[in-house]
Amino acid sequence: MVASKRLRQNEVAERVVKGFKDIISEARTHIEYVDTTSPGCFIHCQAEFEGSMIGAGSLGKKGKPAEKVGEEAARELNRAFMSDAPVDPWLVDQLIPYMALATYRTGIESRMKIPELTRHARTNIWIVQKFLRVEFEVKDNIMSCISRSQKKGIEGD
């Protein structure tokens, strides 16, 4: 949890952490007040597993209760965890080019379980499909990438 030093007297960071811990009580936390050019705060949280990590976060803004900032981050982390996907929503769009390249080069379908398809991911799919002869599909939170030539062969059978 990081907040501007200007927010220390109102214990903003402590209140953000309280909001987070109201939902994920067992979390280990670290608070840091820093010099900034404008007042504000953010919280980044992560859950670490053997071989993977998922993350979430939330930004504070004027008029938004500090506790709500923490609650938003905790809820986002819980959603990613409950999805049972090995990645968080913010990693999905970054993996799309690699899935596309793997499928394009090998002709083998790529698949990955995802927690959700963000607007960033949808945009990245659109862009990747303009460069490579691949198509993406998401069904039941499984994102798959197939080569267009492979798809044509399947449809032609």
| Count of structural domains within the chain | 2
What is the distance between the alpha carbons of residues 14 and 112, in angstroms, rounded to a whole number? 37
In this prediction the pTM is 0.80
Quick one: 8 and 78 in the same domain?
A: yes
User: Which residues form the domain of 102?
Assistant: 89-156
> What digits encode the pLDDT tens for the residues 104-156?
999 999 999 999 999 999 999 999 999 999 999 999 999 999 998 766 555 55
Please, are residues 134 and 89 in contact by the beta-carbon 8 Å criterion?
Answer: no
What is the distance between the alpha carbons of residues 44 and 26, in angstroms, rounded to a whole number? 16
pLDDT reported for residue 41 = 95
Quick one: 8 and 76 in the same domain?
A: yes
CATH for 43: 3.30.360.20
Residues across the chain: 157
Quick one: 10 and 64 in the same domain?
A: yes
pLDDT reported for residue 157 = 44
**Catalytic amino acids?**
120
Phi, psi of 111 (to 5 degrees): -140, 145
Quick one: 17 and 77 in the same domain?
A: yes
> What digits encode the pLDDT tens for the residues 3-45?
999 999 999 999 999 999 999 999 999 999 999 998 899 999 9
Q: What is the DSSP letter of 137?
A: E
Quick one: 124 and 151 in the same domain?
A: yes
What is the distance between the alpha carbons of residues 118 and 120, in angstroms, rounded to a whole number? 5
Q: What is the DSSP letter of 145?
A: E
Quick one: 7 and 64 in the same domain?
A: yes
Write the DSSP string, 70-136.
Answer: HHHHHHHHHHHHHTT-SS-HHHHHHHHHHHHHHHHHH---EEEE-S---HHHHHHHHHHHHHSSEEE
What is the distance between the alpha carbons of residues 32 and 3, in angstroms, rounded to a whole number? 6
Quick one: 15 and 61 in the same domain?
A: yes
Quick one: 71 and 36 in the same domain?
A: yes
Quick one: 24 and 72 in the same domain?
A: yes
> What digits encode the pLDDT tens for the residues 56-85?
999 999 999 999 999 999 999 999 999 999
Quick one: 38 and 53 in the same domain?
A: yes
Residue 59: alpha-carbon gap to chain centroid: 14
